[in-house]
């Protein structure tokens, strides 16, 4: 980060991937070569992307710090900034303020089995950690990835799904809500498929992200499977502006999602005032 926390670095979009009808993935490189070389972050941290003249929005950095050629952000088109971002092409200039927030505890997770449960665009933060773990595979135990979307067309990271499903050292399970022609994977809502997979909670940490309703029922399923609150991690979405704990927008009681989060354990969430 710059000394002035509101000052973005200029960056160039180097690649745009159309993931779904309303999600695009942007790969960017910070223009200042030295800054790009020095740029470090931890899985789970977020950044603010700027389209000058339109504004800033917060997105998770969904590339892995183990792959340093570019920073990757997946953007769902929902408002003014995201709509304008979707119109940009490789070579276009944007601003980036990153990294912001806390991260997944990658050191504490070493030696543990990991169950990822991602829904829709909620796969973005999980992708960071999943990729990080694939690049440090020997540090972690069994890895299961359960990733679901409404339909095959709503799945992001399609280019990587074949690798994820074919790798022998991870158990990747894909699911969609309703049957679809040509679909060879699971059909069913994520919490139900999770119960079907029935992962053991022993020495296992579950990491989930997705729409609030999915998280709600996924947490119930994880509890049913015997997961302890301390061993369930999630990332929160909140409206943010400054990203550095000043503007007063993303607090839940005394915690600021932009500084104390976005990653929280279920045990921590239970301690917070119920304002999610």
Partner 1 sequence: MERFITKENLIRLAEELTATCRVLAPVASCGTVTFRRFLPGMVLDMHSRMAAVSPKAATFPQTETLLTVKREIPEKKPEITETLPEGKNVVIGCRPCGARGKLIFNPVYETDKTKDPYYITRRDNTVFISLACDRPETTCFCHSVGSGPADAEGSDVLLTLVGEGYVARSVTPAGEEVMKSSLFADAGDKGKEADAKNVRARELMGEAHDYASAPAQLLARFDDMDFWQAQSAKCISCGACTYMCPTCYCFNITDDDLGLESRRIRSWDNCMSHTFTLEGSGHNPRPTKAHRLKNRVGHKFSYYPDLHKGVIACCGCGRCIKQCPAGVDIRQIVKAAQEYSE
Rule CB under 8 A: is residue 82 a binding residue for partner 1?
Answer: yes
Q: Of 269, 276, 204, 234, nearest to 117 (Cα)?
A: 234
- Pairing between strand 204-209 and 113-119? parallel
Rule CB under 8 A: is residue 162 a binding residue for partner 1?
Answer: no
Q: Which of 149, 155, 205, 252 binds partner 1 (CB under 8 A)?
A: 252
The distance of Cα 121 from the centroid of its chain, to the nearest Å, equals 8
- Find out whether 247 is annotated in a ligand binding site: yes
Q: Which is nearer to partner 1, 95 or 188 (CB)?
A: 95
Q: Which is nearer to partner 1, 56 or 143 (CB)?
A: 56
Q: Of 190, 218, 222, 186, nearest to 204 (Cα)?
A: 222
Helices (H), the chain: 33-38, 80-86, 123-135, 161-166, 190-197, 212-224, 266-271
Rule CB under 8 A: is residue 90 a binding residue for partner 1?
Answer: no
Stretch that binds partner 1, among 151-159, 177-185, 189-197, 251-259 (CB under 8 A): 251-259
- Find out whether 258 is annotated in a ligand binding site: yes
The distance of Cα 224 from the centroid of its chain, to the nearest Å, equals 24
SS3 246: coil
Backbone angles phi, psi at 139, to 5 degrees: -75, -15
CA angle 115, 253, 57 (to 5 degrees): 65
SS3 153: helix
Site for partner 1 in 190-249 (CB under 8 A): 211-212, 237-239, 241-242, 244-249
Site for partner 1 in 103-142 (CB under 8 A): none
Stretch that binds partner 1, among 37-45, 47-55, 158-166, 222-230 (CB under 8 A): 47-55
Q: Which of 45, 57, 72, 204 binds partner 1 (CB under 8 A)?
A: 57
Q: Which of 14, 29, 76, 225 binds partner 1 (CB under 8 A)?
A: 76
Cα separation, 158 vs 150, whole angstroms: 14
Stretch that binds partner 1, among 7-15, 38-46, 108-116, 142-150 (CB under 8 A): 7-15
- State the residues that interact with partner 1 by CB under 8 A: 3-8, 10, 31, 50-57, 76, 78-79, 82, 93, 95, 211-212, 237-239, 241-242, 244-254, 259, 273-276
């Amino acid at each position: 980060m710059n000394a002035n926390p509101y000052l973005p670095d200029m960056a160039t979009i180097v690649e745009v991937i159309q993931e779904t009808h309303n999600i695009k993935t942007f790969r960017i490189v910070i223009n200042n070569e030295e800054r790009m070389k020095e740029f470090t972050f931890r899985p789970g941290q977020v950044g603010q992307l700027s389209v000058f003249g339109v504004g800033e929005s917060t997105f998770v950095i969904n590339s892995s710090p183990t792959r340093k050629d570019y920073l990757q952000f997946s953007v769902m088109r929902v408002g003014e900034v995201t709509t304008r971002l979707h119109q940009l092409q490789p070579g276009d200039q944007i601003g980036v303020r990153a990294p912001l927030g806390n991260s997944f505890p990658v050191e504490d997770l070493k030696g543990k089995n990991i169950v990822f449960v991602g829904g829709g665009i909620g796969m973005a933060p999980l992708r960071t950690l999943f990729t990080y773990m694939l690049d440090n595979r020997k540090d972690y135990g069994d890895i299961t990835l359960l990733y679901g979307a409404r339909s095959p067309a709503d799945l992001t990271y399609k280019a990587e799904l074949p690798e994820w499903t074919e790798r022998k050292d991870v158990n990747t399970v894909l699911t969609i809500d309703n049957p679809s022609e040509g679909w060879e994977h699971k059909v069913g809502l994520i919490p139900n498929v999770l119960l079907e997979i029935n992962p053991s909670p022993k020495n296992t940490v579950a990491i989930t992200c997705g729409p609030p309703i999915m998280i709600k029922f996924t947490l119930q399923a994880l509890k049913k499977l015997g997961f302890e609150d301390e061993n369930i991690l999630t990332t929160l979405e909140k409206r943010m502006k400054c990203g550095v704990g000043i503007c007063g927008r993303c607090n839940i009681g005394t915690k600021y999602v932009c500084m104390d989060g976005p990653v929280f354990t279920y045990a921590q969430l239970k301690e917070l005032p119920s304002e999610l």
